[in-house]
Structure 1
Amino acid sequence: MPNIKSAIKRVLVAEKANAANSQAKSAMRTTVKKAEQALATGAENAQELVVAAHKALDKAASKGLIHKNAASRKKSRLAKKAN
């Protein structure tokens, strides 16, 4: 642990941000996985889950959790599976 006050604060802030980012990224992955499983099984609500996954991917990209091109690629692949 650092001795300088500002460095101590940076460590604490970074830990808090890391926890929030990890949680958001995990939620995004879960949403995408649910959509993929629904498409694979042919569930009735598959289209709604795909829309939710697209929204989660866009949100993650806007927050900088994943690169915008990665989000676009994942959305494209989901859409391809849906059609």
Structure 2
Amino acid sequence: MLHIAKIPNNEENIMKKFLLGLSFFWFGAIGLLINFTYTLFHQSIINGNEGWLINFIANDTAIPLLFFSLWEIIGIIICIRTLKD
């Protein structure tokens, strides 16, 4: 006989919040990967091999770094808060 267990509404909300946190985290992670790849390879080819830190600061890629880092931090906070519930 098949028994179907009903999941309480609270568990469903916790799962939705956790998945939201993971979505924020992975969006930030993919953005950071794209940002670092662009900085390391593309800008090094254009500007010569001046070093990744100089290219990183000089080409305004620090702003996307802060943006995607913020997304990752928010995702981690959401995940931790939902695990405490």
TM-score (norm: length of structure 1): 0.53
Quick one: percent identity of the two aligned structures? 2
1:58 alignment counterpart: 66
Q: CA shift at 1:12, angstroms? A: 1.6
The equivalent residue for 1:32 is 36
Q: Determine the structure 1 residue equivalent to 2:20.
A: 16
Counterpart AA for 1:7: E
> What letter matches 2:9 in structure 1?
K
**Larger radius of gyration between Structure 1 and Structure 2:** 2
Q: Is the 8 A contact 1:24 1:60 kept in 2?
A: yes
Per chain length, whose mean CA-contact separation is higher, i.e. which structure has more relative contact order (CA < 8 Å, sep 6+)? 2
| CA RMSD between the two structures | 3.0
Cα distance in structure 2, aligned partners of 1:6 and 1:47? 45
Structure 2: runs of 5 or more not aligned: 48-54, 75-85
Task: Tell me how far 1:48 sits from its aligned partner.
Answer: 8.3
Q: Cα distance, 1:2 vs. partner?
A: 7.6
| Partner deviation per Cα, 1:13-42 (whole Å, 9 max, x = no partner) | 21132123202220121111111112432x
Aligned residues: 62
1:34/1:49 contact within 8 Å kept:
no
Q: TM-score, normalised by structure 2?
A: 0.52
